[in-house]
Amino acid sequence: MHTPTPAQLLQVWERGGDPSAAARGLLLLGCSCDDESSVEALAALPLGRRDALLLELRERLFGAAIDAVATCPHCAATVEATFRCDDLRLPDADAAASTLEHAARGIRVQFRLPDSRDLLALENCGDAEAARALLLDRCVFDARFGDEAHEPRSLPHELQAEIAQAMAQADPQADLQLAFRCPDCDHEWQPLFDIARFLWQELHAWALHMLREVDTLAATYHWAEADILALSPRRRQAYLELCAP
């Protein structure tokens, strides 16, 4: 992985105006991973591996410390938390097997972990039940009771739930939950931390700030955007201070 230039990041931000969080995550990885990492290869990564790479990119771009804000679901108070990227990294994020198996009630099921392609496919589902059924269809390779094959959607609901749990246990990096406690009402809850969505929000704020800097320097010195973006952050800040009244 390499650190994208400011110009590359602005191009990614511009391209990601409409896509979903899953598509934006792929855009971010595409501009930061090595050339041999094709779009197809990145999309096929298990979500935990994708998230581990996005955490690495986040640390490269904005540092190790993360400041998060959440709303208490009980009293609607604003709750702030600070943690580090290392607090979110799990040691076995790269060790997930490509094919997994679960056996119960005499049925043997072979399946793979969900990836970005699945998230993109689920976006058009009308409800959670349809999304679960489609995910089973996409991720289950084979389901058999003896020699009799079963369609994934026909599996008992209890077995479907067990497969979903097996997926989460095999790829815990993809299902990070934070531990929050409200200082006002002492309510405790565990919100999901979506690094793809969180990093894009940070990129959006950075891009707007960077464009304001470009506008100021271009108006003052009549430099081209590419020349301004090529400046080091320290030199760019020095020129901005000279522009201040």
Residue 172 contacts by C-beta under 8 Å, 6 or more apart in sequence? Answer: 48, 90, 92
DSSP-assigned letter for residue 4: P
Q: What is the C-alpha separation between 121 and 123, in angstroms, rounded?
A: 6
Q: With a cut of 70, say whether residue 95 has pLDDT above it.
A: no
Q: With a cut of 60, say whether residue 229 has pLDDT above it.
A: yes
> In angstroms, what CA-CA distances link 15 with 31, 62, 124, 211?
12, 20, 21, 15
- With respect to residue 1, please indicate whether it lies within any of the assigned structural domains: no
Phi first, then psi: give them for residue 89, nearest 5 degrees: -85, 135
Going by pLDDT thresholds of 50, 70 and 90, the confidence category of residue 126 is confident
Q: With a cut of 70, say whether residue 93 has pLDDT above it.
A: no
- Which domain does 158 fall in, by range? 100-170
* pLDDT for position 27: 92
Instruction: Mark whether 187 and 87 lie in a shared domain.
Output: yes
- With respect to residue 136, please indicate whether it lies within any of the assigned structural domains: yes
**Among the ranges given (83-97, 125-139, 216-230), the one the predictor scored with the smallest mean pLDDT:** 83-97
* pLDDT for position 35: 62
Instruction: Mark whether 87 and 26 lie in a shared domain.
Output: yes
> In angstroms, what CA-CA distances link 85 with 8, 68, 80, 196?
23, 12, 16, 13
- The rounded mean pLDDT for the chain is 90
Length of the chain: 245
* pLDDT, average across residues 5-33: 90
Instruction: Mark whether 24 and 85 lie in a shared domain.
Output: yes
Instruction: Mark whether 11 and 87 lie in a shared domain.
Output: yes
Q: What would the two tokens of residue 16 be? A: 């990601």
* pLDDT for position 154: 85
- With respect to residue 129, please indicate whether it lies within any of the assigned structural domains: yes
Going by pLDDT thresholds of 50, 70 and 90, the confidence category of residue 84 is very high
Helices marked H in the chain: 6-15, 21-30, 39-43, 47-62, 85-88, 116-122, 128-139, 157-170, 195-221, 225-230, 233-243
Instruction: Mark whether 83 and 185 lie in a shared domain.
Output: yes
Q: With a cut of 90, say whether residue 106 has pLDDT above it.
A: no
Among residues 152, 170, 188, which one ends one of the domains?
A: 170
Tell me how crowded residue 60 is: count the other CB atoms within 10 A of its CB. 15
Instruction: Mark whether 80 and 198 lie in a shared domain.
Output: yes
Nearest to 104 by CA among 151, 149, 160, 152: 160
* pLDDT for position 85: 93
The H or E element that residue 78 is part of is strand 78-84
Q: What is the total count of domains within the chain?
A: 2
Q: With a cut of 70, say whether residue 96 has pLDDT above it.
A: no
> What one-letter code names the amino acid at 5?
T
* pLDDT for position 226: 95
Nearest to 210 by CA among 230, 191, 194, 190: 230
- With respect to residue 215, please indicate whether it lies within any of the assigned structural domains: yes
* pLDDT for position 210: 96
Instruction: Mark whether 87 and 15 lie in a shared domain.
Output: yes
Q: What is the C-alpha separation between 208 and 200, in angstroms, rounded?
A: 12
Instruction: Mark whether 166 and 182 lie in a shared domain.
Output: no
Instruction: Mark whether 190 and 166 lie in a shared domain.
Output: no
Going by pLDDT thresholds of 50, 70 and 90, the confidence category of residue 37 is low
